[in-house]
Structure 1
């Protein structure tokens, strides 16, 4: 079992329950700058974040779900979550390339990779609408007084379902 890294000035606090170092918000930057193995990555990370921000400013609606993967030898590699978005992004490559060059980036080509991410779908929200007794009575009266014609069948079915659902919620 390896021991945790402890710099001369600890930029972290100790988690009492687990006894492991936990990075603090203010100490994370100090830790990255003081660690010899990680500090060379800091300029690359900052460059990628700046490039991500510029790409997002140039193509805001498209670039929301895309990410900068790599910038090496004048080749910018971007990731797109699906093929459809990759195609749209590919159509915007000339605009993106010229705009980035105007902003001072030394980029000659753009490559797009499709990288599907596992998306956890949220459950649809449960409706919390509660109709008053007066409203339910009005819908019930409408259902009873509405003519039973072919034009009204869908409306009658919808009113019936609405009234049944709200009767069940009351119970």
Structure 2
């Protein structure tokens, strides 16, 4: 009996249109001669990362699987304190991974400090003309002073003050 190959497209029932089984990026990676041999290793490491995260959810959030070679699992930790805590959990992690079918004889931890990127300060991208600010001010004054309009009036007042002060 010959196994049938899956269809090249799956059908999205909600929309009624066909979607490609893979993304353009995955197709590119498969077609690239230098990168395509790495895909099985990437998939294995991603699956191992997920299993480690399931076994130690709170602790493994900031850690990564670096490699699995000859039964030795290498993990990265962002600082020495977390590496120490992770080292204490290695027997539990190793047992859990063995139960999930991973052949791991040893676990090694590397401290890899990540450079923290500072967020860029917010730059105001829009400025209103004096005429627009006056229009918002007159709108605020023209609205009835009712509970339904209170939030709108407060927002208009804040907008006018912010643009009058130039910040």
TM-score bucket (shorter structure)? 0.5 to 0.7
Q: What CA RMSD, in Å, does the superposition of the two structures yield over aligned residues?
A: 2.2
Mark the runs of 5 or more structure 1 residues left unpaired by the alignment: 1-24, 124-170
Aligned residue pair count: 103
> Equivalents in 2 of 1:88, 1:27: separation in Å?
40
Q: CA deviation at 1:26?
A: 2.2
Q: What residue number does 1:70 align with?
A: 67
Provide the rounded CA distance (Å) in 1 between the counterparts of 2:37 and 2:86. 31
Tell me the distance in 2 between the aligned counterparts of 1:84 and 1:119: 17
Q: Say whether 1:89 aligns with 2:76.
A: no
Runs of 4 or more off by more than 4 Å in structure 1?
Answer: none
Distance in 2, matches of 1:72 and 1:114, equals 18
Q: State the TM-score, normalizing by the size of structure 2.
A: 0.57
CA distance in 1, matches of 2:91, 2:118: 34
From 39, 55, 68, the counterpart of 2:52: 55
> C-alpha separation between the residues in 1 aligned to 2:84 and 2:113?
14
What are the residue-to-residue correspondences of 1:29-48 with 2, within 5 Å? 29-48=26-45
The Cα of 1:120 is off from its aligned counterpart by 2.5
The answer to which of 78-87 and 34-43 deviates more is 34-43
In structure 2, what is the Cα distance between the partners aligned to 1:96 and 1:118? 27
Structure 2: give runs of 5+ residues left out of the alignment: 1-21, 121-164
Deviation at 1:119, TM superposition (A): 1.3
Q: Report the TM-score, using the length of structure 1 for normalisation.
A: 0.56
Distance in 2, matches of 1:49 and 1:56, equals: 10
SS at match of 2:68: strand
